[in-house]
């Protein structure tokens, strides 16, 4: 086992767990380090598994395919929902909104009753009505919520300049050791999912498209109306040896340097109060990603490029990012190992294996069905 790489170790551990048809199967992040073909095999195996399975996973697509019940650990207790992850998320969000609205109405009604009682309690002609309202006030229930342990950042990418007809044209792009004669054109409304067995291939392509690297040959032509924001897989250059606090760090990328304005953006990304004064160089991986997303939202670009944006994020942040990218009206290039993100955001898939080997306007799941059937 000590000589196996991470992907091989996961396969061996899965084989060990599945062997013997156990009555109860416990799986803790079983899709970590698995390629998409193995994940799909595991999904199908577990869907046919007749005994009990308990799974902990950050893979939302996997949870949606396999799970029939979701246990929600929050507010100091466990609640069980019948359905998959998406059903739990939608139901829990709806229930929370309904309860908040009910509390709001109850608080307003309590205020009206208290004002009436205070005004007419001593009035003989109104005493009966005041007594009736006092009884109603006593019966009025306003739930005292414990704060949720689950925090969702607010992710919403907006842009002001509308996209013209010319967006991005890539012609015969070559970088030795990565790809050769790569050509594609981006059209309005396209969010392209880029796929390759080698992540370094796509990172190099993104670096060339955004001007960080130069190709050996070929051309990249951006439209005159296009503004680009890039989320690199490696963001160390933005944070290493940076002695700025987060307000100062974000100010570098903003036209408005007013502290309260910048704190508002940081608050959306769950940096409130003293957290906004943290030094950029001491942030965790997930905190760095949230700062990069805040930077991109501030830039207000109409073309976004993402290279593995879910790395280091918790499930709540991934869900918020997914919602933000799904509602984005601009164009996008996206690479992610998160299958749910790719499937719900991308409307065109390009596969690069030295050369372009696949390019169709399909969802990610439709592409996988084609190549693995």
DSSP lists the bridge partners of residue 228 as: 303
Cα gap 35→8, rounded to integer Å: 11
Domain assignment present for residue 130? The answer is no
Domain assignment present for residue 228? The answer is yes
Neighbour tally for 27: CB within 10 Å: 19
Domain assignment present for residue 101? The answer is no
Tokens coding 233: 């897989």
Domain assignment present for residue 310? The answer is yes
Taking a C-beta distance cutoff of 8 angstroms, is the pair 178, 200 a contact?
Answer: yes
Query: 3-state SS of 187-206?
Result: CCCCEEEEECCCHHHHHHHH
Q: Are residues 360 and 214 in the same domain?
A: yes
Domain assignment present for residue 184? The answer is yes
User: What is the number of structural domains in the chain?
Assistant: 2
Taking a C-beta distance cutoff of 8 angstroms, is the pair 74, 149 a contact?
Answer: yes
What CATH number did the domain enclosing 238 receive? 3.40.50.300
Q: Are residues 60 and 177 in the same domain?
A: no
Where among 21, 48, 67 does a domain terminate?
67
Cα gap 370→273, rounded to integer Å: 50
Cα gap 169→39, rounded to integer Å: 34
Would you state the pLDDT for residue 142? 63
Cα gap 205→89, rounded to integer Å: 35
User: Where in the sequence is the domain holding 34, given as residue range(s)?
Assistant: 6-67
Tokens coding 108: 């307003």
Q: Are residues 365 and 226 in the same domain?
A: yes
- Residue 331, H or E segment: strand 331-335
Q: Are residues 184 and 315 in the same domain?
A: yes
Would you state the pLDDT for residue 186? 97
Q: Where are the alpha helices (DSSP H) in 19-84?
A: 36-48, 60-66
* Residue linked to tokens 């395919």: 65
Question: Distance of CA 9 to CAs 6, 22, 163, 326, 365, Å?
Answer: 5, 20, 47, 35, 26
pTM: 0.80
Tokens coding 16: 């060990």
Taking a C-beta distance cutoff of 8 angstroms, is the pair 42, 31 a contact?
Answer: yes
Where among 30, 47, 67 does a domain terminate?
67
Domain assignment present for residue 109? The answer is no
Domain assignment present for residue 222? The answer is yes
Mean pLDDT by 10 residues, the chain (373 residues): 67 79 90 83 90 92 94 86 90 80 80 78 71 76 65 93 95 95 96 92 96 96 97 94 94 93 95 93 94 96 96 92 97 95 96 90 94 76
Q: How do strand 303-307 and strand 331-335 relate by DSSP bridges? A: parallel
Q: Are residues 60 and 176 in the same domain?
A: no
Where among 24, 51, 67 does a domain terminate?
67
Contacts of 111 (CB under 8 A, 6+ apart): none
Q: Are residues 219 and 364 in the same domain?
A: yes
Residue 230: which of 154, 314, 338, 332 has the closest Cα? 332
Would you state the pLDDT for residue 147? 59
Residue 193: which of 353, 364, 370 has the closest Cα? 364
Q: Are residues 329 and 214 in the same domain?
A: yes
């Amino acid at each position: 086992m000590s000589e196996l790489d991470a992907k091989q170790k996961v396969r061996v551990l899965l084989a060990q767990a599945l062997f013997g048809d156990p009555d109860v199967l416990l799986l803790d992040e079983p899709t970590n380090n698995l390629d998409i073909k193995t994940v799909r095999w595991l999904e199908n195996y577990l869907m046919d598994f007749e005994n009990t399975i308990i799974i902990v996973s950050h893979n939302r697509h996997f949870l949606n395919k396999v799970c029939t019940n979701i246990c929600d650990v929050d507010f100091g207790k466990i609640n069980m929902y019948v359905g998959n992850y998406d059903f739990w998320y939608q139901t829990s969000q709806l229930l929370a909104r309904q309860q908040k609205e009910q509390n709001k109405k109850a608080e307003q009604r309590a205020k009206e009753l208290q004002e009436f009682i205070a005004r007419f309690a001593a009035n003989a002609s109104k005493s009966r009505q005041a007594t009736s309202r006092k009884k109603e006030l006593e019966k009025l229930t306003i739930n005292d919520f414990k704060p949720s342990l689950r925090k969702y950042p607010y992710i919403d990418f907006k842009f002001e300049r509308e996209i013209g007809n010319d967006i991005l044209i890539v012609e015969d792009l070559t970088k030795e050791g990565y790809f050769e004669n790569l050509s594609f054109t981006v059209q309005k409304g396209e969010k392209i999912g880029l796929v390759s067995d080698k992540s370094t291939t796509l990172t190099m392509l993104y670096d060339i498209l955004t001007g960080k690297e130069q190709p050996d040959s070929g051309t990249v032509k951006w439209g005159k109306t296009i503004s680009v924001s890039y989320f690199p897989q490696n963001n160390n250059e933005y944070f290493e040896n940076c002695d700025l606090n987060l307000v100062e760090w974000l100010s570098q990328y903003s036209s408005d340097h007013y502290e309260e304005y910048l704190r508002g953006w940081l608050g959306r990304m769950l940096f409130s109060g003293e957290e906004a004064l943290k030094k950029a160089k001491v942030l965790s991986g997930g905190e760095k990603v949230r700062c990069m997303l805040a930077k991109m939202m501030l830039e207000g670009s109409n073309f976004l490029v993402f290279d593995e944006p879910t790395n280091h994020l918790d499930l709540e942040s991934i869900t918020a990012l997914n919602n933000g990218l799904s509602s984005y009206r601009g164009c996008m290039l996206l690479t992610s190992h998160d299958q749910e993100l790719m499937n719900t955001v991308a409307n065109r898939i390009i596969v690069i294996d030295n050369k372009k080997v696949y390019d169709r306007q399909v969802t990610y799941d439709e592409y996988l069905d084609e190549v693995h059937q």
